Amino acid sequence: MFANEKWVWMFGLGATVALVAALLWVYGSPRATVEAGHSVGDASPSGVDRDLSVGVGSDSRASTSTNWRIGSPVTYETLTVFPVLSSLDTNTEAFETLDAALASGDAIVSEQGDAMRRSRDGGEQPTTYISSGAQVNQLVLINRGKRPLLLLAGEVVSGGKQDRIIAKDRLVPIGAKPLPLDVFCVEHSRWTFGDGKFSAAKTMVHPTVREKAAVQGDQSEVWAAVRGDTAAAMAQRSMASNLEASPPPVSSAQVSRVIASAAPTEGYRSIYQSDAVGPSVENFAQEVQKRFERATTGIQGEYVVGVIVAYGGEVAWSDIFASSQLFDAYWPKLLRSYAVEALTRPAVKEQVSLVDARDFLRPATGHVREETEPGVYHWRERSEGHIAEIELEALEPKPLTLHWLKVLRTS
């Protein structure tokens, strides 16, 4: 009888231990955050979300998961920016940005058939890597550096026969063969050589243009968005449905006048960095930067790794990175792209709340498209109604989500 009681006691203890272990695994695992639907907490009195846990990554293989917290909103005119904070700051020094690589010469971008290879003595030798001639939607990229090269959709490269933007997020590994690089033109009326090679423009096109490239993949839509046609259509819809909306500070008519007088090739930089538009963009961006610095300076034990962006009462965009280092590298040109968007959208007095931003950060579910280069990167797009979400994951030296983008589509 004693032996039986002892056996029952031991069995009960073992079952209890197993149950506790299972509960710890379910609620303590980062993967559980993804599968459980992303737990969120209430907003604190200061306006900062105390506990927003958002996991990023695929359920089908090892993934990067992280906890993000939304900081207090920064608002200027119709633009609201929510800092995204993380208690972890991943080391991303193993990756190089496109602007830095072009500036140092570690990356070369050329028209097809016109790529150059630098010899050991420092001279340049013409080498035809791709047999076909120049094409609107494809360039050639060579990574000569010692680090994988990070490319983001919407980054401008200047030169060649037309200025272009990168078509989609991707990584280019060390020592890779010359890469046929998918791009979109943002200089519609030029097809003549300026500079033979492309240089770092240090410019990111504004979200409406970036969406047409990264999500829709449509050259005609990219050109229309550069000209302001998309913004004009948005303004008409907004004015028709919302009596509180007023015309955008930079209207499509003003963009057309700039094209006629100062940007005959319809080049993105010529338009939005012109004397007529550029100062407004710069002043707007500087004011947002001042407020952003005040809101984020002095944060203890956390790092700014991204932002959620809203225009009027609509949360429309997010750019979030694996580290504060990457965010800092991209922030100046991202900020100016958000400023252009704010100035070309209808001015709506309505503002968003912390709850709106928190809801926008929840991962999308729906149709999935994927692209993988084994051992280099995995690209994934999820589409759900008007929402599109894009994730770029490095696969080496370990799985790491480098960039997470979410957009409320304009069409």
Q: What confidence score (pLDDT) does residue 238 get? A: 59
Residues 300 and 341 grouped into a single domain: yes
Q: What confidence score (pLDDT) does residue 48 get? A: 41
Q: What confidence score (pLDDT) does residue 165 get? A: 97
Residues 109 and 160 grouped into a single domain: yes
**Distances, alpha carbon 153 to alpha carbons 141, 147, 293, in Å:** 15, 19, 26
pLDDT band at 49 (very low <50, low <70, confident <90, very high): very low
Q: At what angle do helices 229-241 and 252-261 cross, to 10 degrees?
A: 160
Q: How far apart are CA 101 and CA 145, in angstroms?
A: 7
Count the helices and strands in the chain (H runs, E runs). 11, 20
Q: At what angle do helices 219-227 and 252-261 cross, to 10 degrees?
A: 90
Asked if residue 325 belongs to a domain, the reply is yes
Residues 199 and 146 grouped into a single domain: yes
Q: What confidence score (pLDDT) does residue 98 get? A: 97
Residues 231 and 348 grouped into a single domain: no
The number of beta carbons lying within 10 Å of the beta carbon of residue 349 is 11
pLDDT band at 55 (very low <50, low <70, confident <90, very high): very low
Residues 210 and 189 grouped into a single domain: yes
Residues 81 and 210 grouped into a single domain: no
Asked if residue 279 belongs to a domain, the reply is no
Asked if residue 278 belongs to a domain, the reply is no
Asked if residue 261 belongs to a domain, the reply is no
- Does residue 92 have a pLDDT over 50? yes
Residues 45 and 170 grouped into a single domain: no
Please say which residue of 232, 247, 262 terminates a domain.
247
Average pLDDT value for the chain = 81
Within 69-119, residue ranges assigned H as helices are 98-104
Asked if residue 220 belongs to a domain, the reply is yes
Q: What confidence score (pLDDT) does residue 123 get? A: 45
Residues 335 and 401 grouped into a single domain: yes
Q: What confidence score (pLDDT) does residue 236 get? A: 57
Residues 100 and 243 grouped into a single domain: yes
- Does residue 328 have a pLDDT over 60? yes
Percent of the chain with pLDDT over 90: 64
Asked if residue 174 belongs to a domain, the reply is yes
Q: What confidence score (pLDDT) does residue 51 get? A: 37
For 204-263, the pLDDT digits (tens) are 999 999 999 999 999 999 999 999 988 766 655 555 555 577 889 999 999 999 999 999
Q: Sign (positive/negative) of CA torsion 203, 209, 213, 214?
A: positive
pLDDT band at 36 (very low <50, low <70, confident <90, very high): very low
- Does residue 57 have a pLDDT over 60? no
Residues 127 and 206 grouped into a single domain: yes
Q: What confidence score (pLDDT) does residue 52 get? A: 39
Tokens for 221, please give them. Answer: 């839509």
For 162-209, the pLDDT digits (tens) are 999 999 999 999 998 999 999 999 999 888 876 667 998 999 999 999
Q: What confidence score (pLDDT) does residue 245 get? A: 73
- Paired with 307 in beta bridges are 83, 319
Identify the domain containing residue 339 by its residue range. Answer: 40-91+286-408
Residues 27 and 49 grouped into a single domain: no
Q: What confidence score (pLDDT) does residue 194 get? A: 64
Between 133 and 363, the more confident residue is 363
- What is the pLDDT averaged over residues 57-70? 52
Asked if residue 401 belongs to a domain, the reply is yes
Residues 170 and 78 grouped into a single domain: no
Question: How many domains does the chain divide into?
Answer: 3
Q: What confidence score (pLDDT) does residue 67 get? A: 81
- What is the pLDDT averaged over residues 25-53? 34
Asked if residue 256 belongs to a domain, the reply is no
